[in-house]
């Protein structure tokens, strides 16, 4: 592992832990019930610890074999589980509907972790085909998250429409990043960055982004859009 990637361990762990705590706090504010938020926090911790341990053992690294493809499906398990809870649990739906939108959107400032992709590209450790769109997109979404949150909090004219567009753009950017990450990684389906494969995206510590931060961010966008599109007002 290159020395520069080893130096990313501390900021990466700080970023995902900050994201975990902020998401837990947002759910706590929505419920004010320690019992419910304890279980939500436990699920988040189990998820993070699991992908942390798997990433350290290189379980997510996409090797040049079809046998590695099932590992890709692991990235979508948290999203499927989260959507399943949203569809089948009335209690969870009530919690999601009660989350403060400014807080829910503000959490996404943690997307600025994507600046690491740009740093890796500058060091020649990540292909431009992935690092530039994914890194720039994450930085834009992350830096604008507090601004959109403040507009919602102050109930500025057009804030709801801006928040909806922001969520759609943020969601689309993540989907694009997932696709580019797959197409630039060394698999039988690699069609981009053939001269510089995306070798480190699914290695520790970077693997924490596609296996924890990205699925969690996608769920936050879905939760936010559910409320924004359903409510006529935010009051």
**Residue 92 near residue 188, CB atoms below 8 Å:** no
The residues, ordered by sequence, that sit 6+ positions from 140 with a Cβ below 8 Å of its Cβ are 173
Tell me, what's the pLDDT at 92?
Answer: 87
Could you report the per-residue pLDDT of 89-106, keeping only the tens digit for each? 888 889 899 999 999 999
Tell me, what's the pLDDT at 1?
Answer: 65
pLDDT for 27 beyond 60: yes
Could you report the per-residue pLDDT of 112-122, keeping only the tens digit for each? 999 999 999 99
pLDDT for 235 beyond 60: no
Tell me, what's the pLDDT at 67?
Answer: 47
- Say what angle helices 90-98 and 9-31 make with each other, to 10 degrees: 100
Write down the mean pLDDT value for the chain.
87
pLDDT for 133 beyond 80: yes
Could you report the per-residue pLDDT of 157-206, keeping only the tens digit for each? 999 999 999 999 999 999 999 889 888 988 777 889 788 888 888 888 89
**Residue 26 near residue 186, CB atoms below 8 Å:** no
Instruction: Give the C-alpha distances (Å, rounded to integers) separating 192 from 61, 110, 129, 174, 187.
Output: 17, 28, 7, 18, 11
Q: Give the count of alpha carbons within 13 A of 219, CB side only.
A: 25
Give 3-state DSSP helix, strand, coil % of the chain, rounded to 5.
75, 0, 25
């Amino acid at each position: 592992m290159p020395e520069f990637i080893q130096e990313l361990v501390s900021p990466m762990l700080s970023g995902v832990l900050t994201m975990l705590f902020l998401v837990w706090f947002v759910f706590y504010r929505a419920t004010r019930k320690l019992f419910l938020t304890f279980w939500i926090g436990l699920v988040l911790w189990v998820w993070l610890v699991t992908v942390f341990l798997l990433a350290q053992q290189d379980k997510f690294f996409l090797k040049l074999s079809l046998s590695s493809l099932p590992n890709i499906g692991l990235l979508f398990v948290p999203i499927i589980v989260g959507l399943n809870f949203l569809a089948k649990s009335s209690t969870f739906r009530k919690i999601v509907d009660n989350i403060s939108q400014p807080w829910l959107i503000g959490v996404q400032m943690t997307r600025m972790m994507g600046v690491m992709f740009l740093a890796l590209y500058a060091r020649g450790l990540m292909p431009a085909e992935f690092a530039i769109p994914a890194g720039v997109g994450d930085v834009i979404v992350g830096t604008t998250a507090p601004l959109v949150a403040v507009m919602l909090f102050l109930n500025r004219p057009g804030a709801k429409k801006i928040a909806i567009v922001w969520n759609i753009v943020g969601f689309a950017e993540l989907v694009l990043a997932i696709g580019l990450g797959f197409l630039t990684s060394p698999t039988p389906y690699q069609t981009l960055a053939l001269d510089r494969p995306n070798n480190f995206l699914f290695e520790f510590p970077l693997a924490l982004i596609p296996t924890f931060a990205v699925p969690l961010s996608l769920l936050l966008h879905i939760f936010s859009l559910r409320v924004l599109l359903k409510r006529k007002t935010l009051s």
